[in-house]
Amino acid sequence: MTSEAKLSKDDMTVCFILGGPGSGKGTQCAKLVQDFGFVHMSAGDLLREEQQRPGSEYGELIQNCIKEGKIVPSEVTITLLEKKIIESDSNRFLIDGFPRQLDQALAFEKEVVESTLIIYLECSEEVMLKRLLKRGETSGRIDDNKETILKRFKTFLELSYPVVEHFRKSGKVHTVPCEDSVEEVYARVKPIFAELFKQK
């Protein structure tokens, strides 16, 4: 990654959507894309796409990490996200499922672009587990089984929650309870972005 790739926060809006597995990140992002014209980038989807790309140098590594509920090395995820941002015509980005740990957060902000705000979708493990097991009935995802889900919860608490705490110090985190219906949660999320773009 070169220093020329550094993008300016003044030229774009990058928002991280954080929350445990099954907290509803993708669902809320879909609504924000509709209302605010964001480009939605799911770190998990990008990694799964890369894993399936013929000839990918990262394919096997990504597959093993996903299967074990572990975090893919930062440089792989950051490279994929940066490429996607640079290739896009948009200047509004929602990134969900990233940063998964503090070193990813620090590296992304230093090497790519500083984030504008962070939404943290707060949800109990009980509710998330129920949602994921239900999703697992139809998703076909190898990580939507109880054993891997519990590993993912542990990973989130140990590695990802400190990211929320880090950004909280800079006043960029908006915590949104998300155990209610999709519509009720979005009624809390939407005004945050309406306010943000009113200021721009």
99 is in an annotated binding site: yes
31 is in an annotated binding site: no
Give the H/E segment covering residue 95: strand 92-96
103 is in an annotated binding site: no
22 is in an annotated binding site: yes
d(CA 72, CA 100): 9
48 is in an annotated binding site: yes
26 is in an annotated binding site: yes
Fill in the DSSP letter of residue 160: I
131 is in an annotated binding site: no
24 is in an annotated binding site: yes
67 is in an annotated binding site: no
152 is in an annotated binding site: yes
Q: CB of 19 within 8 A of CB of 178?
A: yes
110 is in an annotated binding site: no
98 is in an annotated binding site: yes
Say if residue 39 is exposed, middle or buried (CB neighbours under 10 Å; 0-12, 13-18, 19+): middle
180 is in an annotated binding site: yes
Q: How far is CA 47 from CA 123, 140, 175, in A?
A: 24, 16, 26
d(CA 101, CA 71): 8
20 is in an annotated binding site: no
23 is in an annotated binding site: yes
27 is in an annotated binding site: yes
Give the residue numbers of the binding site for ATP: 22-27, 135, 180
Give the residue numbers of the binding site: 22-27, 48, 70-72, 97-100, 104, 135, 141, 152, 180
Give the residue numbers of the binding site for a ribonucleoside 5'-phosphate: 48, 70-72, 97-100, 104, 141, 152
